[in-house]
Structure 1
Amino acid sequence: MSQDEHQGEAAGGLFEDLPAVRREDEQAARQARMAAKRQGAVRLLQPNRSQIELRASDLESLLGEDHRARLVWGYVEQQDLSRLTDAIKARGSNAGRAAIDPRILFALWLYAVLEGVGSGREVARLTREHDAYRWLCGGVSVNYHALNDFRSGNEALMDEVLTANVAALAAAAAISLERVAQDGMRVRADAGAASFRRQASLEQHLAEAGELVREVKQRAQDDPGASSRRAKAAKQRAAEDREERIRAALEQLPQVQAAKRRNGDKPEDARASTTDADARVMKMGDGGFRPAFNVQLATTCEDQVIVGVAVSNVGSDMAQMVPMVEQVVERTGSTPGQWLVDGGFPAHEQIDAVHEQTQGKTEVLAPVPEPRRKSGDDDTPPTDKHQRKEGDTDAVAQWRQRMAGDEAKELYKQRAATAECVNALARNRGLQRMPVRGLTKVRAVAYLYALAHNLMRMVKIAPQLLGLGTGASVAAAAVA
């Protein structure tokens, strides 16, 4: 059998069930193809991304009237930033470039926090590409150096703005200090676990860093034309910065050793970070141990407004209650009625100090720990943890008795509903890892998050303080 006959037989076997093509249909299809060919090629609107466009628009028209950026700017305009403007040297006909309005930098950071952006470089990029950030800048060019310097260098200003914010809410009777909840949140530090070293290693690295600084300086003197002036200066700054960070870690080491002694650990095992000397290894929420800071927030239970912010490098909450109570009293001018904390706070000394400080006006609501049982006392009936024990002061005895009642137990449930909610909002807004180093700068970041949170709460509970009404546009700005 020939090859053609074989292929014909195979084709017939495969397609023998198909209907035969009629000659009229074949001619019609051929005529349709010829007609389409005579009409020419298909015309399509294709993209031309190299085409230059001229758009006539102003920044004001980019955002709606209820946009959140307008809310942020309206709030910033009400703040007293005179301490920053008074320090500007560009005045009148004096030489020097005009300074960026501090209100722009403040508004950019507040809006960035609300949007979950924590990087200065990212904010600088958004000021060129995002309409809301462009509107806040109003045509002013902003770089990440100015943004980072503003955030890191104005911890005292953020503290003052938070105090003014809380005082205004209290004066308007928009918040109630009847119950305040305090909770600690471990936030990852900008330091790696490998940067923690013992004293011998730190001293060795300090000597090496000092030698490197001397070599860089000597090389620049011996061969001035070897590289550009800027590159040489950068190398020298990097070497000096490393030497300074190691020196700071050595200075922090005695504090770490003292904490080790208090906890019953070996002081010779104390380690400090060469990246961020203020950071400490803490137990995190997932049970792991990582470099972190302890961010403390005090929040009103009824209104969920943050009235106190503190940052420490101590992993325990045991001694954090009294300083926070003092801070809230100082900020608001009022004494809280009840102070809600979890089981990590109520050391007896802290309860006594709060009682003495507030003259008994503040009641501590915290769970009473179960009494420790000695080995071999399994047959002995457990003692009532709410009964007064030997050595208890009147304040501690009152706390035990108070927590035995059903009313106190019911009120204590507000702690988790308040503190955990505020912590979760901060996490959702990007407070997962600190973008700065050092306690002072970390504290400034914590203040920013508190101010952003309170701004959103003001829209809900006191829009009149922002010059707003109570219509649908206000609600839209709060959730935008």
Structure 2
Amino acid sequence: MSDPTHQDSVAGVLFEDLAPVDEQAAQAAAQARAVALRAQPPRLLQPNRKQIELRASDLESLLGEDHRARLVWGYVERQDLSRLTDAIKARGSNAGRAAIDPRILFALWLYATLEGVGSGRELARLTREHDAYRWICGGVSVNYHALNDFRSGNEALMDEVLTANVAALAAAGAISLECVAQDGMRVRADAGAASFRRQASLQQHLAEAGELVRQTKQRAKDDPGASSRRAQAAQQRAAQEREARIQAALEQLPQVQAAKLRNGDKAEDARASTSDADARVMKMGDGGFRPAYNVQLATTCKDQVIVGVAVSNAGSDMGQMAPMVEQVSARTGRTPGQWLADGGFPAHEQIDAVHEHTQGRTEVIAPVPEPRRKAGDETAPPHKHRRKDGDSEPVAQWRERMAEEKNKAVYKQRAATAECVNALARNRGLQRMPVRGLRKVRAVAILYALAHNLMRMVKIAPQWVGLGTGAPAAALAAA
């Protein structure tokens, strides 16, 4: 161990010839160095997004245990999709490319619906870039053609899945059909206002489209070896599709004319769309008139589970109640106790039809309209809740029923149920239909109903979607 006194004496000998330190000069030099340092550019770690990275990770580790994509897959795994798998021709060692598992396509659309994605091209892009969609695919490549074909071509299958789900829930007592609310919402069609044309204009456009088809076929025949055969085929296909759409619009024109006559309008004012022949101009919620579809949903008031879906191109809800009651009875195997509808539904013949179909077991709970006074009639109109001449027994019972305060209180559940479900569908992207035609539009509507019911099942029957009662189930139920 060295002696500190000896070290001090040695240091004094070594540095005794050095000049004394000038404190002011030292501070000036330090300031000069600081100024020179600040004048130089800073050293930064900047991003280099062109560099190649190799990540050693599996798809399973991308999502947490409580992720919604796992819920969707657990639900799809429990559905019977044998109709689709039985139709696959690629089997064993036979020639042909392996088919995409239908469960992947179904799960992708369900998850996309919950996330508000309705475009097939956008969904195909997400399967390459978004972890949740990549996890669902599990390394299987999908394109937008396969996605769109699955959604548009499996309306019957999705309807069967909806029926199986609600029937099982009703049989197990997980949902109550004591009170069911029905409501319709107008959803914008994928057609422009300028695509609606009268009969003379449609016939003229049909002739022009037919001539264009003839010309494209003739060009392909005259020069079959051209380098642009692919472009010629695309032009011919586009011309044929346009001709088919105009022909479909002409076929729909008689129905539009009949509706015009029923409303007291002129038949010659009837117009049909050359983009979507099934679409009709309807009055929307903001008071404007646009091409749209009328989507009808029937929902249980207690559990808010959708038990009925219907799509029509009628702008009015009149005539939609009895078919929906029959649909719900057929789906669930049970008769609803009370049927809640707003003032646009209860036409007298509809009330009679509901009474006949359910043998009086379903009570219609809907407001009674105020009686109209004829022009020049000074007498007081009859009370709306009293039986009128010509009323059938079910209609008279409906009037008397709606005079009771308890039924007026029950009717208040309609807005809390139907309007909430409609708002959820709007929030999930049901603002404008991404497809054309009644059949395809109905497939989209059923897909929204399945997505909605899936989230409701997490709360009322989590074991049916592969969840227990632990933390993942609680987290998904709160989502």
Q: TM class by shorter-chain length?
A: over 0.9
Paired residues of 1:182 and 1:339 also in contact (CA < 8 A) = yes
Distance 2:41 2:436 in 1: 64
Equivalenced residues, count: 457
Amino acid at match of 2:209: A
Inter-CA distance 34–144: structure 2 relative to 1 (3 Å threshold): same
Q: Point out the more displaced range, 223-232 or 445-454.
A: 223-232
- Aligned pairs for 1:123-142 (under 5 A) are 123-142=123-142
Larger mean CA deviation between 87-96 and 417-426 belongs to 87-96
Please state if 1:426 is matched with 2:425. Answer: yes
Q: CA deviation at 1:134?
A: 0.3
CA distance in 2, matches of 1:374, 1:27: 107
Task: Tell me what 2:472 maps to.
Answer: 473
- What amino acid is the match of 1:407? K
Contact residue 372 and residue 381 of structure 2 kept, 8 A: no
Distance 1:29 1:254 in 2: 97
Cα distance change of structure 1 residues 135 and 38 upon mapping to structure 2, 3 Å threshold: closer
Q: Within 5 Å, which residues of 2 pair with 1:179-198?
A: 179-198=179-198
1:33 matched residue in structure 2: 32
CA, structure 1 residues 413+41, in 2 after alignment: closer, same or farther (shift >3 Å)? closer
In 1: Cα distance, 2:186 partner to 2:469 partner: 37
Question: Which blocks of at least 5 consecutive residues in structure 2 are unaligned?
Answer: 1-22
2:275 maps to amino acid: T
Q: In the alignment, which residue of structure 2 is the partner of 1:8?
A: none
- The CA distance in 2 between the partners of 1:418 and 1:195, in whole Å, is 36
Instruction: State how far apart, in whole Å, the 2-side matches of 1:303 and 1:367 are.
Output: 23
Stretch of structure 1 that moved more, 239-248 or 217-226: 217-226
Number of the residue aligned with 1:437? 436
- Residue 366 of structure 1: aligned partner: 366
Q: Alpha-carbon deviations, 1:421-467, whole Å to 9, x = none? A: 00000000000000000000000000000000000000001112223
For residue 297 of structure 2, give the secondary structure of its aligned residue in structure 1: strand
Query: In structure 2, the residue corresponding to 1:135 is in which secondary structure?
Result: helix
Contact between 1:198 and 1:271, CA under 8 Å: does it hold in 2?
A: yes
Which residue of the partner structure matches residue 217 of structure 1?
217
Separation in structure 2 between the aligned mates of residue 113 and residue 35 of structure 1, nearest angstrom? 59
1:75 aligned partner: 75
Listed one character per residue, the Cα deviations across residues 41-84 of structure 1 (whole Å, up to 9, x for unaligned) are 75432222222211100000000001000000000001111111
Mapping for residues 14-163 of structure 1, pairs under 5 Å: 28-29=27-28, 31-34=30-33, 37=36, 42-163=42-163
Query: Is the 8 Å Cα contact of residues 68 and 478 (structure 1) preserved in structure 2?
Result: no
| Distance of aligned partners of 1:284 and 1:31 in 2 relative to their CA distance in 1, 3 Å threshold | same
Once the two structures are superposed, the pairs formed by residues 43-442 of structure 1 within 5 Å of their partners are 43-378=43-378, 380-442=379-441
Q: Secondary structure at the match of 1:296?
A: strand
- Equivalent-residue separation in structure 1 for 2:152 and 2:274 (angstroms): 19
What is the Cα deviation at residue 27 of structure 1? Answer: 8.0
Q: Which residue of the partner structure matches residue 12 of structure 2?
A: none
Alignment deviations for residues 89-147 of structure 1 (CA, whole Å, 9 cap, x no partner): 11112221111100000000000000001001111111011100000000000111100
Alignment correspondent of 1:455: 454
For the Cα contact (< 8 Å) 2:220–2:229, is it kept in 1?
Answer: no
CA distance in 1, matches of 2:441, 2:34: 75
User: What's the CA shift string for 1:285-342, capped at 9, x where partnerless?
Assistant: 1111100000000000000000000001111111000110000000000000000000
Structure 1 gap segments, 5+ residues each: 1-23
**Matched AA of 2:384:** K
Preserved CA contact (<8 Å) 1:280 1:291 = yes
Calculate percent identity across the aligned residue pairs.
Answer: 84
TM-score, normalization: structure 1? 0.92
Shift of 1:29: 4.8
